[in-house]
Amino acid sequence: MRDYLFTVNKENAFDLQKKFNLNDFDTDYLYRNFWPIIVLTDISTNEFQNLLLKEKKAFISKRKKFVFKIFKRDYLDYLIYELNNYLDNINKGKTKVYDKIDETYFHWFKLKLDIKSYTLLLSKKDITDLEIYFIDLLNIIEVFISENETLPPQQTEKPKSEQEAPQTFDELFYNIELVQPSIDILKEIEPPLIDTDYNYIGKLKGIICVWIDELQRQGIVKHYSDRKIFASLIPQKIKRFSIDESMFGKYQSKAENNYRTDIKTKVSKIKLSQNSH
């Protein structure tokens, strides 16, 4: 799974010099002080989640059964360690931006395995977005682990994408009592996405993708790799609305930047209310 997120040492200091038009001083400094040089890919959290399910399916297809202990060791353990290592650096203020060129941040890290050099991480995300992204990835992994670690080794349960697809919007939810308050979020955001009669009145459909994603992250809505499920069932509740399934696999930048925090807060309140009962 790590290879989906990070491209490691495919570019050296001299490659970066050509790519970003670095001067000789910066090139030499990068050459002497930074190794590994890592480029963060641009896959979204939704895409990562789908890739995780895809790898599970491939494991079952090849091994004829799913042994979670082995899958976790080979696919997730080092990635979990690495993401936590980055977050530990950020939390302790051990990272800084060496430079920013053409919207690319040159993040300087001192990770546990960095003995005589530093890690250089190139990303379009600033340090705050980077932290949020890594936390979200760990949350996805945590949910995946919690859903799979209790399965016995001999069980060859099909991934959710192969199980019987839900027929109603309510079936997307673990707890049917949370359906209504979850939909009401779309009336409470500013500007609202639906009116009091549940007609779609919004202009940015990407908000729906962020809404569903946040409900999944907080364990309210189930995970399905087949995006058609969400595209077909959401209009059951939201009138005069349609959405292309491909939107659920893309990073909705405007919706993320303007609505993620508000939606996350509102979903957290629903989750808190559920836990208090």
Span 131-166, pLDDT tens digits: 999 999 999 999 899 888 765 554 444 444 445 689
Query: What 3 state SS string does the chain have?
Result: CHHHHEEECCCCHHHHHHHHCCCHHHHHHHHHHEEEEEEECCCCHHHHHHHHHHHHHHHHHHHCCCCHHHHHHHHHHHHHHHHHHHHHHHHCCCCEEEEEECCEEEEEECCCCCCCCEEEEEECCCHHHHHHHHHHHHHHHHHHHHHHCCCCCCCCCCCHHHCCCCCCHHHHECCHHHHHHHHHHHHHCCCCCECCCCEECCCCCHHHHHHHHHHHHCCCECCCCCHHHHHHHHHHCCECCCCCHHHHHCCCHHHHHHHHHHHHHHHHHHHHHHHHC
- Tens-digit pLDDT profile for residues 248-277: 878 888 999 999 999 999 999 988 877 655
- Tens-digit pLDDT profile for residues 47-81: 999 999 999 999 999 988 889 999 999 999 999 99
Look at residue 151 in the predicted model and tell me its pLDDT: 54
* pLDDT confidence tier of residue 122, bands split at 50, 70 and 90: very high
Look at residue 169 in the predicted model and tell me its pLDDT: 94
Domain boundary among 116, 148, 180: 148
Domain boundary among 90, 120, 148: 148
Look at residue 80 in the predicted model and tell me its pLDDT: 95
Q: Are residues 6 and 115 in the same domain?
A: yes
Q: Are residues 204 and 122 in the same domain?
A: no
- Tens-digit pLDDT profile for residues 77-99: 999 999 999 999 999 998 999 99
Q: What is the mean pLDDT of the chain?
A: 90
Provide the domain limits for residue 78: 2-148
Residue 102 lies in a domain: yes
Check whether 197 has a pLDDT greater than 60.
yes
Q: Total domain count for the chain?
A: 2
Q: Are residues 7 and 125 in the same domain?
A: yes
Task: Give percent of the chain above pLDDT 90.
Answer: 72
Residue 277 lies in a domain: no
Residue 87 lies in a domain: yes
The average pLDDT across 93-112 equals 94
Q: Are residues 185 and 246 in the same domain?
A: yes
Residue 207 lies in a domain: yes
Look at residue 125 in the predicted model and tell me its pLDDT: 96
Q: Are residues 176 and 141 in the same domain?
A: no
Look at residue 275 in the predicted model and tell me its pLDDT: 62
Among 37-46, 160-169, 213-222, whose mean pLDDT is lowest? 160-169
Is the pTM higher than 0.85? The answer reads: no
Q: Are residues 95 and 198 in the same domain?
A: no
- Tens-digit pLDDT profile for residues 6-34: 999 999 999 999 999 999 999 999 999 99
Residue 158 lies in a domain: no
